[in-house]
Amino acid sequence: MKTKIFGLMAILLGMSVLMTSCKKDDDEDPAIPATILDLTISADNATAAVAFSEAVYKMADKTGNLDAASFSVTISGGTATLGNFTVTHTAGTSTATLNLELNGVANGSEELTVAPASATSIYNAAGAATPTTESANVMLKETGIIGQWISAGANVAPLLISAGIDSIFADFKADNSYVVESFTADGSKTTLTGSFVQEKSGTGNIWTIVVNQSSPSSLISEGIFEVTANGTVTMKYEIAQTNPEIPGVTPATPAGGFGSTSGGAFGMLNVQTYVKY
């Protein structure tokens, strides 16, 4: 009987020691904060996704969505600057989306840096704050024609004005599809859709573009464009139909510059100006 009692006491004492040891270890190990695993940028530089190592919160008590006050966001180098940003995040998830508003046109040399705004702005479930030394970087992309554009009034190419068109809205998307809506003075609308391929030419800031229209009819147009930023982002755009061919019509080239449709036969009549919005 004594042997059984001693054995039971030994087991209980062993458990007590084990529990005490575990508690001591827990007290000595501080909570490990969430880290930034990855930072990616969208093809149009409109959004950046921040991926954390675990679920994160704005508050230490596991509440609150991360917001603009949670992050330090900066852009260095290149020509584009950061105008403003907002944050989309749901408390308890590990990814936050930064919605970026840029000033100017990115040339691909801009570096975006994201970090916690302070030592008390991003928490994990254990209440540990991510330090400000935890940051991530990614380069912005040179977007070319990608974006939404409007051409109206005197900005519309004279050839199109002569056809009755007084305004054009163009949306060149990051997935290389496009939607172009043109309007006449009486409000009639024509919608063109299709895909495009753009490439930097190496001649100044001029890009080449091939537009593959799929609706309302199938055709291919080619030409050039150039995006500039002087407070307002504008674009010169000159294309001509190449398939089916139109006798005597050839597209503008980077070497020929704007006004080089059909070897310059049309002058600036086929050149259009867009404003980004």
Whichever domain contains 194, its CATH number is: 2.40.128
- Out of 94, 121, 139, a domain closes at 139
Cα 130 to the chain's mean position, in Å? Answer: 25
Q: Which two tokens stand for residue 178?
A: 């496009």
Cβ atoms of 224 and 203 within 8 Å: the answer is no
* pLDDT at residue 14, as a whole number: 46
Classify residue 2: in a domain, yes or no.
no
Helix (H) or strand (E) holding 17: helix 2-28
Range of the structural domain that residue 158 is part of: 147-276
- Which of residues 93, 121, 139 is at a domain's end? 139
What does the alpha-carbon distance between residue 189 and residue 174 come to, in Å, rounded to a whole number?
Answer: 24
For the chain, give the mean pLDDT.
91
Whether residue 152 sits in one domain with residue 271: yes
In a domain, 210, yes or no: yes
Each residue of 185-219: pLDDT tens digit? Answer: 999 999 999 999 999 999 999 999 999 999 999 99
What is the reported pLDDT for 231?
83
The per-residue pLDDT for range 139-159, each reduced to its tens digit, is 999 999 999 999 999 999 999
Measured CA to CA, the distance from residue 228 to residue 100 in angstroms comes to: 19
Closest by CA to 116, choosing from 138, 96, 140, 143, is 96
In which residue ranges of the chain is pLDDT below 70? 1-30
63 and 111: one domain? yes
Domain boundary among 107, 139, 171: 139
> Across-strand partners of 86?
99
* Number of domains, the chain: 2
Residue 150 · residue 275 · CB < 8 Å: yes
258 located within any domain? yes
